[in-house]
Amino acid sequence: MDTYSATEAARVLGVSPKRVRQLVAQGKLDAAATDPLKLSQQQVNELREQRKGDSRAKHPAQPDPAAVGDLGALVDKLLTMQAQVTRLEIESQAAADLKLERDTYAARVMQLEAQLEQMRPRRRWRK
């Protein structure tokens, strides 16, 4: 059976030799020999692959910079569109307010014209 020393296993796993001894103590690695510590290469390599899978789950792949740039452009476009929609909503409300004000003045004009007509003296035609 091929084995690694604690230092070799540490290098393969990307940890310290002390951490390798902790893994043995936790039962995550079995020691083929204890003095000096010898570990099965197969078991160390399996643990390395397992840790790589766990690492990918904890640290998802970084986004593609081109995709991030595209997202930035989309965000800018959305913000511009949102500003346009807000401006249109304000203009629409202003137009509705102006129409209401126009209708109010038109009604007042009609009322004043009616009052003026009543105040004018009536001409009577003689026969």
- Cβ count within 10 A of residue 13: 19
- Cβ count within 10 A of residue 44: 21
Q: Is the link from the previous residue into 36 a cis peptide, with omega within 30 of 0?
A: yes
d(CA 31, CA 2): 12
List the structure tokens of 78.
Answer: 């959305």
Per residue in 8-38, pLDDT tens? 998 988 899 999 899 989 988 888 887 888 9
Residue 60 pLDDT: 61
Whether 44 contacts 13, CB under 8 Å: yes
Digit-by-digit pLDDT tens for the chain (127 residues) are 688 898 999 898 889 999 989 998 998 888 888 788 899 889 988 888 888 876 655 656 666 666 677 888 889 899 999 999 999 999 999 999 999 999 999 999 999 999 998 888 877 776 6
Residue 51 pLDDT: 82
